[in-house]
């Protein structure tokens, strides 16, 4: 009897060992929007802690990552989706492309500010927090005698014309969140006005989010609209850059999720657990990453000037970010920005410069007629082809939910919005030039 029990125990022990080994072996395929500066330190530290696992990290921007998972669901080869934008995870969750996993983590609060850190149904988990703001090259600013900005509206001032860069929200999940934050914080109409007035000062709109901090670090452009960790990691690397959180910003979690039907579910869950463990959270403090941990205790190991949203309630307090609102209109907002700004940047800049010139002349020689024309020009620039309600409607939002193939309705809307913007910018430039003549 004793020999039988011993044999049973040995078999049970072997089974446990085999299960543990299986959980920590094989390849884990990760689709992520994060750059190698972020993913490499995690890959090295995780593989060191889990010798049997190899991480296969595939970089795609957020939208491309979501589409890839959607298009390969029948023969899924992806274990993990890892990105910043919470609405991207909501899209995947809504299409049953994520599977539940509650990380084995302690000391993680339910919220950061007013925002939940984890999906309440455990389909995705927050592992870091991020805010959105303005980064600038201090040497560039001083050489060009440019003031330090504090709020989004500052970047709309004439002094910043041709000195600012941002990534296209359709190409960058973090920039999309910045745009959505302004729209939610200021309201649809005023938010678009602010965005258009800022964008009229842009020198460039990049295709990837890390193209902006690279340009600011090198001094190719002075100011960039970025996610906070781009600035913090640049500072840690010795670049002469500064960063500010505008009043209208939000602190939201960057997330990770196990993809439905993951080939290596055990390995994927081990990776999620590692990200929110104390060891994984400390990796966030490395100079190449510099993200905000979701474990408050880890800030004790951070540099003295490290932002701490758990102790500074002003960070993100102005905006109660609603991920459901964002998720319903994600594609519409991105296409609206592209059709009215990204693809019309030259026309927008021409109208903006004409307005700046007119208002400068009006300041020297007041003219009621000129002032009225300049206001009309500003209103034309700020005008949008659809309302907030229309942006979330089934009729419009539904036109942008297809896969690779663009539907006829989507193409029709894109053409309408582009034509709307082009016409308004031409009218705005003409009115501003007329105002300038009256003010001279």
Query: Does residue 20 belong to any structural domain of this protein?
Result: no
What's the number of domains the chain is made of? 2
Distance, CA of 414 to CA of 88 (rounded, Å): 22
CA 390 – CA 360 distance, rounded (Å):
37
CATH number at residue 102: 3.40.190.10
Under a CB-based contact definition with an 8 Å cutoff, are residues 377 and 351 in contact? yes
Lowest mean pLDDT among 102-111, 233-242, 259-268, 315-324: 315-324
Residues 373 and 304 in one domain: no
The answer as to whether 96 is a domain residue is yes
Helix (H, G, I), strand (E, B) or coil at 283: helix
Q: pLDDT tens-digit profile of 22-55?
A: 445 699 999 999 989 899 999 999 999 999 999 9
Domain that holds residue 258: 26-129+253-315
- The predicted pLDDT at position 14 comes to 37
Residue 350, both tokens: 């021409």
Scan for tokens 């984890």, then name that residue: 118
In a domain, 413, yes or no: yes
Are 34 and 86 in the same domain? yes
* Residue 402 domain-assigned (yes or no): yes
297 plus 368 within the same structural domain:
no
Q: Do 92 and 30 reside in the same domain of the chain?
A: yes
Task: Reduce the DSSP state of residue 130 to 3 states and report it.
Answer: strand
Q: In the prediction, which pLDDT does 8 show?
A: 41
In this predicted model, what pLDDT tens digit does every residue of 233-261 receive, in sequence order? 999 999 999 999 999 988 889 999 999 99
Place of tokens 């419009």: 396
| 84-104 residue pLDDT tens | 888 899 999 999 999 999 998
Considering the domain architecture, whether residues 293 and 360 belong to the same structural domain is answered as no
Are 37 and 120 members of one domain? yes
Domain annotation covers residue 320: no
Does 303 fall in a domain?
yes
DSSP for residue 407: P
Q: Is 151 helix (H, G, I), strand (E, B) or coil?
A: coil
Report, as an integer, the average pLDDT of 274-287: 96
User: What is the reported pLDDT for 396?
Assistant: 94
CB–CB of 211/171 below 8 Å?
no
Asked whether residue 278 falls in the same domain as residue 353, the answer is no
* Residues 101, 62 within the same domain: yes
Give me the pLDDT at residue 250, please: 85
Specify if 259 maps to a domain: yes
Q: Is residue 246 part of a domain?
A: no
């Amino acid at each position: 009897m004793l020999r039988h029990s011993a044999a049973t125990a040995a078999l049970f022990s072997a089974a446990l060992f085999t299960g543990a080994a299986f959980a920590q072996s094989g390849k884990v395929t990760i689709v992520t929007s994060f750059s190698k500066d972020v993913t490499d330190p995690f890959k090295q530290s995780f593989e060191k802690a889990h010798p049997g696992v190899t991480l296969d990290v595939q970089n795609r921007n957020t939208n491309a990552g979501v589409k890839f998972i959607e298009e390969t669901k029948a023969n899924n080869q992806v274990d993990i989706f890892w990105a910043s934008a919470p609405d991207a995870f909501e899209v995947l969750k809504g299409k049953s492309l994520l599977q539940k996993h509650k990380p084995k983590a302690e000391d993680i609060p339910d919220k950061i500010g007013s925002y939940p850190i984890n999906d309440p149904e455990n389909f995705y988990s927050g592992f870091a927090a991020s805010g959105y703001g303005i980064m600038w090259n201090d040497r560039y600013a001083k050489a060009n005698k440019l003031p330090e900005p504090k709020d989004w509206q500052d970047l709309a001032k004439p002094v910043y014309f041709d000195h600012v860069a941002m990534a296209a929200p359709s190409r960058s999940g973090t920039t999309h969140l910045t745009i959505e934050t302004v729209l939610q914080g200021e309201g649809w109409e005023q938010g678009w006005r602010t965005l258009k007035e800022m964008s009229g000062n842009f020198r460039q709109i990049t295709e990837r989010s890390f193209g902006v901090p690279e340009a600011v670090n090198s001094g190719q452009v002075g100011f960039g609209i970025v996610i906070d960790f781009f600035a913090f990691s640049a500072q840690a690397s010795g670049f002469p850059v500064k960063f500010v959180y505008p009043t209208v910003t939000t602190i939201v979690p960057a997330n990770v999720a196990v993809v439905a039907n993951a080939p290596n579910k055990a390995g994927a869950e081990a990776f999620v657990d590692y990200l929110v463990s104390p060891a994984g959270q400390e990796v966030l403090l490395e100079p190449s990453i510099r993200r905000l941990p979701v474990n408050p205790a880890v800030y004790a190991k951070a540099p003295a000037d490290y932002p701490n949203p758990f102790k500074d309630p002003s960070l993100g307090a102005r905006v109660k970010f609603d991920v459901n609102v964002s998720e319903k209109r994600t594609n519409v907002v991105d296409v609206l920005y592209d059709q009215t700004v990204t693809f019309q940047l030259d026309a927008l800049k021409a109208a903006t410069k004409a307005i700046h010139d007119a208002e400068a002349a009006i300041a020297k020689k007041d003219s009621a007629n000129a002032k009225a024309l300049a206001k009309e020009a500003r209103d034309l620039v700020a005008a949008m082809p659809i309302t907030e309600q229309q942006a979330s409607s089934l009729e419009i939002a539904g036109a942008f939910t297809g896969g690779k193939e663009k539907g006829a309705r989507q193409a029709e809307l894109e053409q309408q919005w582009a034509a709307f913007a082009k016409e308004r910018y031409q009218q705005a430039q003409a009115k501003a030039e007329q105002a300038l003549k009256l003010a001279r």
